[in-house]
Amino acid sequence: MIDYSKEYTVLIADDDEASLVILFGILSPWYHILTASSGAQALSAAQEHSPDLILLDIVMPKMSGFEVIGKLKESAITEKIPVIFITGLSDPGSEENGLNLGAVDYIIKPFNQAVVRARVNTQIKLIEQMRMIEQIGLIDPLTKIANRRGFENRLNAEWFRSRRESQPISLLMLDLDDFKTYNDTFGHPQGDLALQAVAQALSDELRRSSDFAARWGGEEFIALLPNLDSAGAAEVAERIRKRIETLPMPGDGGAEMSITVSVGLYSVVPTAEMSIGDSIKQADRALYRAKESGKNKIAISKQIADE
């Protein structure tokens, strides 16, 4: 276990005092711990202290964990804080609901110390990587999201984590339709504003803190969706496509026009025989098919359909 010298803060929210004591004992040697015994206390602590990670019980009186995470995502201060649900519920429906609301992981009661530490440590490592990206210049200067190198670093880490845990990972390759025509018509300054607006829309629609967007190059973007299969990734892709289609862009004579995007989707559970480079190629091939089929569409890699 890495010694983080309590650089990171973890908020544990659970109405069961015994669970709080157990989790405090497991994590306090490495992290600064805050505790809350209700949903309202959790929201207040999150707003005041901006913890790096929240462990959130689902079943609590007055306000459930599902309600709490919904309110966290509504606030600009707390929307990006990763949330791990801690719960005695083991049915797939509850887990699916939690992940759809933006949780990054689940820890099932009764607690296994090794599992708790490993799952928390994984999220802390992701937080470290995000901070490293900001520190070593892996941000695209125009759009202020990750650049290609930053994305490759993040994908590499998520790929091997997904392979180790046998979890799906999805890639979205996005390309603005007819952007050269738009750029030539309205000029590069306006084109730059369009790219910035698209990057912001893409980031907004990636609602889980584990999701990751980057500018791949030119008018092409890429998104990483860990722990999400092709069906879930297709829903995210469609949400992004619709959002970009409705972005207001200046046209002739001050009139507004729209920019559309084509999306290629590839989803897989990585194995030792697979390569990261091939996964990007699969997403890129799907993008090509989306363009060939009329643009402003989503195409899923044929490899998924064949599986």
Least confident of 12-21, 119-128, 178-187, 243-252: 243-252
Separation CA 87–CA 90 (nearest Å): 8
For residues 200 and 242, membership in a common domain is answered with: yes
Tally of domains in the chain: 2
Q: What is the CATH number of the domain that holds 162?
A: 3.30.70.270
Separation CA 266–CA 20 (nearest Å): 40
For residues 73 and 97, membership in a common domain is answered with: yes
Q: What is the CATH number of the domain that holds 97?
A: 3.40.50.2300
Separation CA 207–CA 87 (nearest Å): 22
pLDDT tens for 181-226 read 888 888 888 889 899 999 999 999 998 888 999 999 999 999 999 9
For residues 46 and 155, membership in a common domain is answered with: no
* Res 83 pLDDT > 50: yes
For residues 214 and 254, membership in a common domain is answered with: yes
For residues 96 and 201, membership in a common domain is answered with: no
Radius of gyration of the chain (CA): 21
Separation CA 304–CA 297 (nearest Å): 17
For residues 84 and 57, membership in a common domain is answered with: yes
Which residues is 73 bridged to in the sheet? none
Domain end call among 79, 98, 131: 131
Residue 186's pLDDT is: 85
Residue 167's pLDDT is: 93
- Residue 138's Cβ-count burial label (10 Å; 0-12, 13-18, 19+) is buried
For residues 143 and 267, membership in a common domain is answered with: yes
For residues 153 and 270, membership in a common domain is answered with: yes
For residues 53 and 143, membership in a common domain is answered with: no
Residue 306's pLDDT is: 38
For residues 187 and 258, membership in a common domain is answered with: yes
For residues 95 and 169, membership in a common domain is answered with: no
Q: Which of 2-6, 157-161, 260-264, 301-305 has the highest mean pLDDT?
A: 260-264
- pLDDT, average across residues 25-48: 95
Write out the catalytic residue numbers.
Answer: 219
CA atoms within 13 A on the CB side of 187: 4
Residue 307's pLDDT is: 40
Residue 283's pLDDT is: 97
Separation CA 296–CA 237 (nearest Å): 11
Residue 189's pLDDT is: 85
Structure letter (DSSP) for residue 146: B
What is the helix (H) or strand (E) element at residue 56, kind and residue range? strand 53-57
Q: Which domain holds residue 32?
A: 9-131
For residues 121 and 183, membership in a common domain is answered with: no
**Pseudo-torsion of CA 14, 15, 18, 20, nearest 10°?**
30
